[in-house]
Structure 1
């Protein structure tokens, strides 16, 4: 109550003029959120549609088509799915994607999983199928007689650097031994990692794997005749001689 009748009564401030502004702001925020939600939903639906469309490539018997399918799935953000499918199939068609990703994501937690899947494929990949060979196939090699020496290629493991050594290894050489130092020496197949596949050749530059021609039991002795790195990736292969 105003005690001084000569002074006009003070009016309380009115915010009624702000009501239309607030209403407009709220409407704008709601519209923005609705648009964002709609766009997110549309993007999700588009990814699902693309996943369904391109799965035929992943399921193809043709290696080149599977490689394309893995690339599309990777670009759509389905990295975990790419890893799982490649691992279950031991599919060399996924190698380029996996190694490219590992090079980009060095040091990340996801990188560890990627490297593990690539290493597994290197060790036990299924033979390449319908992709044309970049050079003519060699003539068939006659089967060796029992008790004779035989040559072939085995996957040695993943060599990181001379400082870090081998991340994985499948013969019992020292963990910090550089690959070049292994040539001319004899080692056993590690009991910790089990049997080791022998192939007629190491993978081609296109990631084609030769068929398995022999399986060396744990403890089998092999002499390393040569060593080669596949595609500057750290995944090392060796030509070996062993007793049949």
Structure 2
């Protein structure tokens, strides 16, 4: 059984996924698996061919069944079913991972017995050709901040495999499936651990600008806020959310 399972949904990423895969292969921790889920890519897309060129038994390429609805939340849930490790690491197909991404994640789960891991990321604007500093500086898991906005970088996160079945991604969300997941996990009192290190680079490029992947619409926010409203504020904060040491 691998120590960690990266689950990566993708659609029409033939032009980018090769670099992303290479950053996972270059991890300092070599005992991993990478599950790539194709979410109904166009016939002209070359992602599968690119994946095969790596010729790595740790990498599996899986097509979403035609009878399953399209969407990143469904693709994540489908991919999670194939994970063999007790730790599932989120990976998006256009991000670039730092060499210790897997190593730091595994160590945190062993040391803290957390349910959810997350860390920092840096940002590179491919359009402007420049790095962008983080919007804010934080050093622990912050419930109050999470209630206001999703400050957790999704591709920095990982969670125990059983949570993928108890708290599957909600296909209702087209752009904020991660925020919904973190909200439900927090309300349920799951233990979050923050690692104060940068574990990946988020790439801003023309495609994700046009898709507005970071936006959450008004109806999404209402749906998310219901999760907080249902729980007494004191109960939520007294859950397993204290500052991480």
TM over 0.5: no
- TM tier relative to shorter chain: under 0.3
Higher helix proportion (structure 1 or 2): 1
The structure whose RCO (Cα within 8 Å, separation 6+) is larger is 2
Larger Rg: 1
TM-score normalised by structure 1 residue count: 0.24
